[in-house]
Amino acid sequence: MTIARISQIDRRATQSGKANTGLWLLEFERQQALRPDPLTGWAGSGDTNTQVRITFKTREEAIAFCEKKGIAYHLVATTPVRMKIQAYADNFR
């Protein structure tokens, strides 16, 4: 059974702007365990669903897509954003 994870895209630590924030991401959870390749030693599996990432503008669109396709899903809560206002002069106190 395929299970999807729906979460809101967070802003990256190196991203100063707000482009592409607020979008919702649908990712599939891993169905097979990773196993090392005997030749190279790299971890991998035959599960290719983990490579699929679909973005939606709203949470409701992502949920409607899962229900239309018959995909089980769960929502991942977003962490609240805390802004720490600090002046440059505070580094020298």
What whole-number distance in Å separates Cα of residue 24 and Cα of residue 6? 7
The DSSP bridge pattern shows strands 53-56 and 24-28 to be antiparallel
* All residues at 6 or more sequence positions from 79 whose CB lies less than 8 Å from its CB, including other chains: 10
**Confidence label for 91 from pLDDT (cuts 50, 70 and 90):** confident
pLDDT higher at 86 or 72: 72
The backbone region for 70, taken as left when phi is positive above 0, alpha when psi lies in -120 to 50, beta otherwise, is left
- Reduced to 3 states (helix: H, G, I; strand: E, B; else coil), residue 12 is coil
**pLDDT tens across 48-82, in order?**
888 899 999 999 999 999 999 999 999 998 877 77
Phi, psi of 60 (to 5 degrees): -65, -35
Question: Model confidence over 32-50: pLDDT tens digits?
Answer: 888 998 999 999 888 888 8
